Structure 1
Amino acid sequence: MKNSAGRNESSRIFADYTISRLAPEIRESLTNRQLNGIREAIFATQSGSHHKVDCRFTVPLFLARYYVVFLVGRDRRKKTRLLEMRRNQSGNIQLAPLMSFLLLSLLICLLWLAVFITLYWLKRELGIDIFENFHLMDLLPRGVVDE
């Protein structure tokens, strides 16, 4: 086991907090060797979280404080991600592809709508009349658009 003396203070605090969340009867039944082993396991999980950009801060808003975390780094979770996908696929229907498709479709429709409205407004402002005596504004109920 590695010596935990070189670990940073936040890792020690996190490990102690995690151990304190154990039920008192379980925590008291553990030997010092077992507690140190648990601390080392917690340190090991935190030591792999090195990021190129690691920005963490809290924002006080009205009656609560919120935390913001922005991390950028190389994805080294391939094995873990594959195991998690296999576990989720056993008996579950994957909704992520469907939700991604629906969200992308919605965004594309909104983009086309914005482009159409912009082009129609531009055509109207320039006075271009593609179909004589017919305008989209004629399709709207009276009073919706004031001209």
Structure 2
Amino acid sequence: MALDGKTDATYLINEVSQRVVLSQKRIREYEKGGLIRPVREAKTNNRRYTEADIRQIQRIKTLIHKHGFTVSCLRYFLSSAPCWIIFDCKEKETCPCYSTPHTPCYEVIKKADAYGGLKDCNRCPIYLNRNQRKMALLDKK
């Protein structure tokens, strides 16, 4: 089902929960923690998730459950590390963000006329956490 007349499929939280093997409560916690931002249906306010959202949830799940990140640690990581590292990008060499690692990806994509990856930057975890205090990773301050 498309929310805006486009052919992009979206999924309810129960469908996403089954696909990513996480509880609906955990997915809502990711949203509350500023890691995802699903689209909301206008009439029902139900969360609707795109394929890009599902990929983000899967990567967040990996970072938290397999690599030991906490939500607050992951929010800091999102504001400090390049997007291709966070999302384990397989196409980084062709992405305009890769060639400008010190400029936030949402700024590069806006200038590059919405590169074919995550086009909806205002829903990307990196954009959602852009106001986190930034400092060099592993800085001892």
TM-score normalized by the length of structure 2:
0.27
Higher Rg of the two aligned structures = 1
TM-score normalized by the length of structure 1:
0.26
Greater fraction strand = 1
Comparing both chains, which one has the higher relative contact order based on Cα–Cα distances under 8 Å and sequence gaps of 6 or more?
2
